[in-house]
Amino acid sequence: MPDSDTKTLLIKGKAGLGNRILSTLTGMAYGQMSSRRIIVDWSDGAYAAKGTNAFPLLFSSPVFSPDTAPPQTNDVTPDVWRDHITWSVEQMIGKYDPKRFSDPTIYRKYCCDLSRTDLPQTLAVYWSYLPKFRHIRKHFKGQYAHLVGMSERRIIAELMPQLIIPLPVITDPVDQFVSEQFKAPVIGVHVRHSDRKSPIEKICRSIDRLLAKTPEAQIFLATDNRAVETDLKSRYANIIVTDKWLPSPGEAIHYNKTDVDPTKSAIEALIDIYLLSRCDYLIYPGGSTFSYLARCIGNFPSSHIIDVEAFDPKVQIKRAIHNFL
């Protein structure tokens, strides 16, 4: 079959690592269910030089070859991507919907119709801010039939190690850190405190409760804010952290405007995600896809999980809206 006729799913990346990994995972599953060749495009400049695809610098996948190029065709869905398949989602929304970056429904305009696996167009484009497994559940047949009835978290835990595999540049430092630094029961703590603010006092109360039960435990802290790291080190003696670059206060790592290598920053962040997943306990803000991903891929008993935003009405309403849309 000529390359121009090969039905392809082009998965675009946007926002932070948690968002784009969970979005890409959904897209890969949908692409396989649609019998389409899969291409992942993270060349938006967030985690590599603009124009360089960051995905194969961080991950391998049995369903994607980094040498594969999108078919040269105008037979595209959604139609808005016609003549723009090399553009990033950021560029597209900036051009056509500049006031809708935070609109939870905006993905619908830039994502193919997930209710169908028989789209006739040669090239389908997938993008979303968050996982959309709810929308593709009805396609769980064949190799995906065993996912029927699973929660979203279980689906992610099942598919991540199969479809999105971190490279040794990530797994080797994770294994070394665990071997050298994890000496006792470890409480993993994620504090996002840049463009979004985690409830630090709730996090500290949760740490105190766990330490009362396991006073010998270490605390592995993953944060994007140096001041938070300093603060928690002043409160707790047994804190361990990775050595990484952090942005100016209030600025998200993936939007930093410094000369720091964005791929190096991505690797450092992914090391933290996988280290969180290797802890014995996890304290995290449920509204963060970063630590939600760590929860999904970690083998945590439910009694070892504390979501400090579990009863935050704003977070729960936002989550419900995104899950429904």
Instruction: Determine the Cα–Cα distance for residues 259 and 30; give it in Å rounded to an integer.
Output: 36
pLDDT tens digits for range 243-298: 876 665 555 554 555 667 899 999 999 999 999 999 999 999 988 899 899 999 99
pLDDT tens digits for range 49-84: 999 999 999 999 999 988 888 888 989 999 999 999
Phi, psi (rounded to 5 degrees) for 219: -120, 115
Phi, psi (rounded to 5 degrees) for 7: -65, 130
pLDDT of residue 301: 92
pLDDT of residue 288: 86
Which secondary structure element, helix H or strand E, spans residue 201, and what is its range? Answer: helix 200-213
Q: What is the dihedral of CA 269, 197, 194, 179, to 10 degrees?
A: -20
Residue 89 has pLDDT above 70, yes or no: yes
Question: Taking a C-beta distance cutoff of 8 angstroms, is the pair 40, 25 a contact?
Answer: no
Which residues neighbour 296 within 8 Å (Cβ) at sequence distance 6 or greater? 153, 156, 157, 160
Question: Taking a C-beta distance cutoff of 8 angstroms, is the pair 136, 114 a contact?
Answer: yes
Residue 8 has pLDDT above 80, yes or no: yes
Averaged pLDDT for residues 172-190: 94
Rounded to the nearest integer, the mean pLDDT of the chain is: 89
Residue 120 has pLDDT above 70, yes or no: yes
pLDDT of residue 310: 76
Instruction: Find, among 250, 251, 111, 274, the residue nearest to 188 by Cα.
Output: 274
Averaged pLDDT for residues 198-227: 91
